[in-house]
Structure 1
Amino acid sequence: MNDEEYKVLLHSLKEDILVTDTNGIIVNVSHGTGSVYNVNAENWVGRSVYQLEKEGHFTPLATPQVLEKKERVTFVQTTSEGNKLLVTGLPVFDENKDIARVVSYSHDVTELMEIKAGMEELTSEIERVRKELDFLKDQSEGWFVAKSGAMKKVMASANQVAGFDVNILLLGESGVGKSELARMIHSKSGRSEGPFIEVNCGAIPDSLFEAELFGYEGGAFTGASKHGKKGFAESAHNGTLFLDEIGELSMANQVKVLKLTQDKTFYPVGGRKEIHSDFRLVTATNKKLKEAVLHNEFREDLYFRLNVVPLTIPPLRERKEDILPLIYTFLNIFMKRYKLEKVFSSEALHQLLAMEWKGNVRELINLIERLVVTTLDKVIQSEHLSYLLDGEDQSDSYLNNKRETLKETLEKVERERLMEAKLTYGTTTKMAAALGISQPSVVRKLKKYNVD
């Protein structure tokens, strides 16, 4: 085949094919090359690829890579228009096994590179979501949910300060989850391997608080163990000491807590040896401590000690977006705990979402648990929920209505029990078995109380 035939064959190919000598001078080029680089390909014959690279037509080059490696090379090349080409360079050897020519061809992979970039972006997004899921998984070890903007801010602040040993004061109504947030802060801190000691200041009698917090020596007071007892402060060494309901402390005990926060040292009751405990302090209260300070009910110096980083958890009624995730979180927790399968009907969910939740998350937890264990049907209906809620109100009325006779009160209770059984079991046979009476008795009582 002569040179003209080679050229005809070369130009008949639609592909980009470029041939250079060992100096990088182009000796042959296909018409397809011109369309790829948007030039007249014939004008490139006799020109140096090194010069063309300087002019910005393409980069990097195939020729020097093939000459260096003496083998096939493949790489991505960028054209002057920003297109991406997958270029393959091949060495052509002469009879002495020296490279005589370098042949290169390419495929436009701009679209593939865009797909790759998209995949990388998607991978990055997946990684971000994975980290977020891991974060939520960490939260799910407790029950903290942060879907609302208000709670996301609280969680962001908590995560930011968790790694620093600053005093944190958690504020918010009763039942919003201050204890749970304290545990989360501990788990995110450098002290997570250490103990988390929770102390409910409002549950300890004022006279026993010092002994409980600092411990005591054997026989320190009447009724004390002869072996003594380690206090909460010492038990929290290398961990977190969480003083809940700090606003309930008497002024005398506030002084003792103030010294502990300043020095991290204390004397056990009846002891003469000072003990040092390295702990991180987190406190919480549902009281407005600023107002308590103004009314001389809380020490100002202690308030400033505790209030280094205040975090206020909003009530559930102010973060509606969190209610549905919390419902499902606790539903799953209690289904797993009691080995039951339950789902909420849409009507029941709407009813739950419309509630005021004056008791905040604690009220929600208690209600979901009661619904799971008291509803025998798999689907929890709005009737089951209404019965529980109405039952709470009516139980109070039974106790408070002094004018009713015993018979009237018992009849009310019997009617409510029948209604609950009707909703739960459906058939009179199942109702009878559950109530411990005969099926005819169930039928008779349903008729008596007009329960449909």
Structure 2
Amino acid sequence: MAEWNEYEAIFHSLQEDILVTDPNGIIVKVSEGTGMVYGVNANDLMGKSVYELEREGLFTPLATPLVVKDKKRVTFVQTGSDGKKLLVTGLPVFDDAKELVRIVSYSHDITELMEIKAGMEEMSSEMERVKNELEQLKQRQDDEGLIARSHEMRKVMATGKQVAGVDVNVLLLGESGVGKTEMGRYIHHKSNRRNGPFIEVNCGAIPESLFEAELFGYEDGAFTGARKGGRMGLAEMASTGTLFLDEVGELSLQNQVKVLKLIQEKRFYRLGGTKEIHSDFRLISATNKDLEEAVQEKTFREDLFFRLNVVPLMIPPLRDRKEDILPLIQSFVDHFSRQYKRKRMLNKIVMHELTQHVWRGNVRELMNLIERLIVTSDAFVIQEEDLPQTYKSSSENYSEMNNFSETLQETVERVEKERLEQARRQFRTTTRIADALGMSQPTVVRKLKKYRIQ
């Protein structure tokens, strides 16, 4: 019968993973708990090298080389052969001559804690997505807020509603201020993704150097000034909903490549990250530029153009849908009266002036004017004197063709400019404009530049 050893009894009664090696990594003592943690017989580990056991896949990394190197306590996470995560602490043991003679390591199973941590990180990421989504959506207008009394606008909305039911890429075209963003929201709210987020990316407002970080997000410490903990990108926030790329024609060629890859794969990495992220979004883009012409001029990638231009939808300018002006005015008056708690109405002369105005800034210009009138007028009824001078008709009321204050050449140039502006609105390329006006394409390009027609 073996002699009872008090220290051995205490050592094994701890039921913990305790392992002792010499500086060369040879196991000289091991607790019974170690065998249970790693799924082996503890006695079979005696005399073996921890380096050999690591090569066999029993555990990694090792405490021994870390303690030998630094000659001090170390703590790290170790992975067992069954995927368990262990928090390991290694301690040096010195003799009287201060020479390292033993390395003692012990561990605790933290697999469950690691799973909880991962779950918390995922929950935190989801909470951030929801928070950012709410910030993006808090100013969202009702999807029925679009005014469509005119035949032209009713046709556009009918097409938008038709394509909303399928996840096809839509390219919204039209002058600045016609309501491309509102149309994008309309399509989103009519789609099966209506309960998901509508995330707007203003490609023209984000500095080129920050575009990748804004679109894809970044990890903690990815660059100087990065927010602690990292940040979710707009593409990731749009998952299950719609990603709206506004002013897509303003993208640099470098960023066009990144957007093309995102559209094709819907997979990306955060800046400074190594984990691939998948985002299930529907894409809608918008621009006031002629992308076909930009492709010809090599300022816009042809492959990206074809990706975006699956279903093009042209939104007509406000001057071509005058039937919508009065209902738009009433809608904006009601909206801003509620917002600023100032009940106002426009008299008939003001209404007439506004319906006759050429709205070069389109719906956005009309909306801004109504907001201005609501907040600056003192009376319940807004009079013509409340209108800015640029929105009042000339009191002379004479025909421009009978205006002899300009020379014949000036009259010709004015008419030529008006015809070019009209053709530019109707035809999207300079080749088509040239065919319609009976002149060469280089002449059209030269005259557009002359009159600064975009």
* In 2: Cα distance, 1:191 partner to 1:140 partner: 16
Q: 1:211 aligns with which of 210, 213, 217?
A: 213
* In 1: Cα distance, 2:163 partner to 2:302 partner: 23
SS at structure 1 position matched to 2:379: coil
Q: Deviations over 1:386-421 (max 9, x none)?
A: 45758xxxxxxxxxxxxxxxxxxxxxxxxxxxxxxx
Amino acid in structure 1 at the alignment position of 2:291: L
* In 2: Cα distance, 1:315 partner to 1:346 partner: 24
Q: Please name the residue that 2:164 is paired with.
A: 162
- Aligned-pair CA distance for 1:139: 8.5
* In 1: Cα distance, 2:345 partner to 2:224 partner: 55
Q: Please name the residue that 1:99 is paired with.
A: none
- Aligned-pair CA distance for 1:142: 5.8
* In 2: Cα distance, 1:344 partner to 1:361 partner: 18
Amino acid in structure 2 at the alignment position of 1:262: Q
Q: How many residues align?
A: 253
Q: Please name the residue that 1:190 is paired with.
A: 192
SS at structure 2 position matched to 1:377: coil
Amino acid in structure 1 at the alignment position of 2:152: A
Give the conservation status (yes or no) of the 8 Å contact 1:171–1:178. yes
Give the conservation status (yes or no) of the 8 Å contact 2:199–2:243. yes
Q: Please name the residue that 2:286 is paired with.
A: 284
Q: TM-score, normalised by structure 1?
A: 0.55
- Aligned-pair CA distance for 1:143: 3.2
Q: Please name the residue that 1:317 is paired with.
A: 319
Cα pair distance change 1:244/1:286, threshold 3 Å: same
- Aligned-pair CA distance for 1:226: 3.0
**Residue 143 in 1 paired to residue 170 in 2?**
no
* In 1: Cα distance, 2:143 partner to 2:170 partner: 21
* In 1: Cα distance, 2:272 partner to 2:244 partner: 24
Q: TM-score, normalised by structure 2?
A: 0.54
Q: Deviations over 1:19-67 (max 9, x none)?
A: xxxxxxxxxxxxxxxxxxxxxxxxxxxxxxxxxxxxxxxxxxxxxxxxx
SS at structure 2 position matched to 1:203: coil
- Aligned-pair CA distance for 1:382: 1.3
* In 1: Cα distance, 2:227 partner to 2:361 partner: 39
SS at structure 1 position matched to 2:359: coil
Give the conservation status (yes or no) of the 8 Å contact 1:244–1:285. yes
* In 1: Cα distance, 2:143 partner to 2:314 partner: 21
SS at structure 2 position matched to 1:202: coil
Mapping for residues 3-152 of structure 1, pairs under 5 Å: 141=143, 143-152=145-154
Q: Please name the residue that 1:235 is paired with.
A: 237
Q: Deviations over 1:237-257 (max 9, x none)?
A: 101000100000000100000
Structure showing greater Rg: 1
Q: Deviations over 1:200-254 (max 9, x none)?
A: 0101000110111001111111111231111000000101000100000000100
* In 1: Cα distance, 2:332 partner to 2:243 partner: 27
Q: Please name the residue that 1:405 is paired with.
A: none
- Aligned-pair CA distance for 1:268: 1.0
* In 2: Cα distance, 1:360 partner to 1:196 partner: 24
Q: Deviations over 1:153-198 (max 9, x none)?
A: 1000000011110111111100000011111111111111111100
* In 2: Cα distance, 1:176 partner to 1:374 partner: 25
Q: Please name the residue that 2:225 is paired with.
A: 223
* In 2: Cα distance, 1:143 partner to 1:358 partner: 21
Give the conservation status (yes or no) of the 8 Å contact 2:199–2:237. yes
* In 2: Cα distance, 1:372 partner to 1:227 partner: 44
Q: Please name the residue that 2:366 is paired with.
A: 364
Structure 2 alignment gaps of length 5 or more = 1-139, 393-454
SS at structure 2 position matched to 1:271: coil
Mapping for residues 310-349 of structure 1, pairs under 5 Å: 310-349=312-351
- Aligned-pair CA distance for 1:339: 1.8
Cα pair distance change 1:183/1:175, threshold 3 Å: same
* In 2: Cα distance, 1:143 partner to 1:354 partner: 23
* In 2: Cα distance, 1:230 partner to 1:156 partner: 35
Identity %: 64
Q: In angstroms, what is the RMSD of aligned CA positions?
A: 1.6
Higher helix share: 1
Q: Please name the residue that 2:128 is paired with.
A: none
Q: 1:273 aligns with which of 272, 275, 289?
A: 275
